[in-house]
Chains A and B, each alone.
Chain A
Amino acid sequence: MPLAIEVNQVHKRFAAVRALDGVSLEISQGEFFGLLGPNGAGKTTLISVLAGLARADSGRLRVMGYDVVTQYQHARRLIGVVPQELVFDPFFTVRETLRIQSGYFGLRDNDVWIDEIIERLDLTDKAYANMRQLSGGMKRRVLVAQALVHKPPVIILDEPTAGVDVELRQGLWRFVRELNQAGHTVVLTTHYLEEAEALCNRIAMLKQGLIVALDTTRNLLCEVAGVRLRLRLAPDRLPESLAAYAVAHDGGSRILALDSYAQIENALAQLRAQRIEVQELEVLQADLEDVFVQMMRRQ
């Protein structure tokens, strides 16, 4: 089974700026993959070279096994992109827009699927409205519909929830989750890290055109962010061997920042050896924002 996406040593420069500086990445079919990074990290450039909107200076990219340059017609049939910018063609209605986009992919008689995505994205009332008459949120829904109109196995969403209301966000994620469960590979870029944490099973973090983290969301949360323990001790003191891990001492509680879960038992053993009683113990869950901040600072 070919990989959904294969990126191999891709470089792309814009004048003096290295937008992508040797990026390599593999995404398997069926993954829900997060592509995170600060503004200007190279996320949209990577999506653009994958989708054929820009050309890489060097390196190879494949979608479902097809090279995006030499086999672009196959590759583009298999990928659907929701762009970051709110773009639309002011000459057409929503239904015309979707029928035209479907036709570009050579799809005849696609009205059943078009009706379904119109309904799923709550566009039924606006199906015959001109694109100019739609609100920003509605235009965003049409962009999602356009990306899905040819039922691509690989779906790329470039900040799809930027500036949209909670209702659309929740509805969109329900729909995209269902598509993922049905076997579609989903690649998501977002600045809402809680969304990425909740949805993505694997994450890559980009900074200045380089991948600085690439792992499962679980591993990133456990191994990169480490583990924080909140302890209430009697007597309220720490052995010297644990002093370096202390990050806070507040109201009788101490917080230790450990590198991994494996260190918890070691820390407890040292407390026992010093006859310090653990009266309360709480493992504090790190979130993706902690990992993100840590990774961006580390590099």
Chain B
Amino acid sequence: MRAVHKRYLREFWPAMAAYVVLLLGSVWLLRHLESTPLRVLATLVPVIPIVFVLRAMFRVIRDQDELERRIDLESIVAAGAVVGLGFFTYGLLLSANVLPQPRAETVAIWVLPALFFCFGVAKCLVGRYYRGR
């Protein structure tokens, strides 16, 4: 594994671990807190490690070699298109009242995980294309 990817993992895993710990703490706190400012704080604290995850991703994309960067670029474009189109289609179906109405926060929370998931799948496919032959 190249140094740039080792550094990425060194930055990614602690940030993800912090996210999980803070998320569990946040869920527990929200059951006990009643003050609105404290509830806002408890809710937003888990976002901080996600910022560090994104920072790690930006740094690895910036420091990779040119083909790796191209693979990531093509993958994020594909993921953005799939997720954008998917949520747009879902929104149209919801507005036509042909699907059960979800809670707004449920839809909003799933945008980023859906983007990450699609990015991962797209990266496997794009990477396979460049490895092929």
- A and B from one assembly? no
Chain A positions within 8 Å of B, measured between CB atoms, are none
